[in-house]
Amino acid sequence: MWTEIDIDRIRTLGDKILRPSRPELVRCLASVTCARASDVASALEIDPKDKFKAALALVVTADGSWQGPTTGREAWETVAPTEWLADDRRRFERGGESPGTVRDAVTLASDPSGVTTAESLARTFASKAHALLKTAHAPQAVGWRFVDPKRFRARFCARAQDRTGEQLFAAACAASTAKGDEALRAGLETDIDAAVSALRDAVLKHTGPVAWDVAALVGWHARLVSFGIDSPFDAVIALWELGYALDELADERTVLVAPSV
């Protein structure tokens, strides 16, 4: 748990965001392309930038077809863990109850343990956030959005910490006022800006814009913890460490981001 500021740890965390481990990637790519796993592994070493495209190049014909599954649903039923197929709490941006494309199916199925943990963290975040916001209920559904990590990585942190973070901090201030704790409210409102600004300045000397926004959210989390408030941001930080990210906290679901393979 993050209870204090550690610049080196923040720098390392910034490097992990949207870079999941995906231990089952070769198996999944081999399954959807009907290629040999050894050939897929070799192709990924030659062209590691677009892993899906590299594997597909092994089997695609002149007309752009291949023998494996060609829809997201077919691929999902081929590579996803069996227990996932019956879980109606998972939703997808373009495909409803199944991923919209073969690439999207491989993106999640290639990291079964990480995705399962990420969804649990999303529900933990939603529960803590809704308790802080004093809303009726926390959603159990988890949505997935698939993004190009190169284009999305540098700006998603700002969205997460600005849109969700400020809302939660406003709720924390309101909660402190309701309890008659004016000192806590004053501390949250005045100290956090200075703490986050100083932290951002320190991190920015060593890293780029991702760690800048990571530093801001970690600073907010540490401030909540220091005032004895059950911070929902520990779940967001744990998501980053897994290689995934929070995109949105909505009434009906918590939306996560996964980098496409």
pLDDT at 181: 59
Say if residue 153 is in the same domain as residue 84.
no
d(CA 211, CA 18): 13
pLDDT at 260: 93
Say if residue 55 is in the same domain as residue 144.
no
Domain boundary among 80, 110, 140: 110
**Residue 85, amino acid:** L
d(CA 43, CA 54): 6
Say if residue 123 is in the same domain as residue 236.
yes
Domain count, the chain: 2
Minimal CA–CA distance to 188: which of 140, 222, 212? 222
pLDDT at 25: 97
In the chain, which residues have pLDDT < 70? 1-7, 94-95, 136, 151-213
This prediction has a pTM of 0.82
Question: Do the Cβ atoms of 238 and 120 come closer than 8 Å?
Answer: no
Which range of residues forms the domain containing residue 72? 25-110
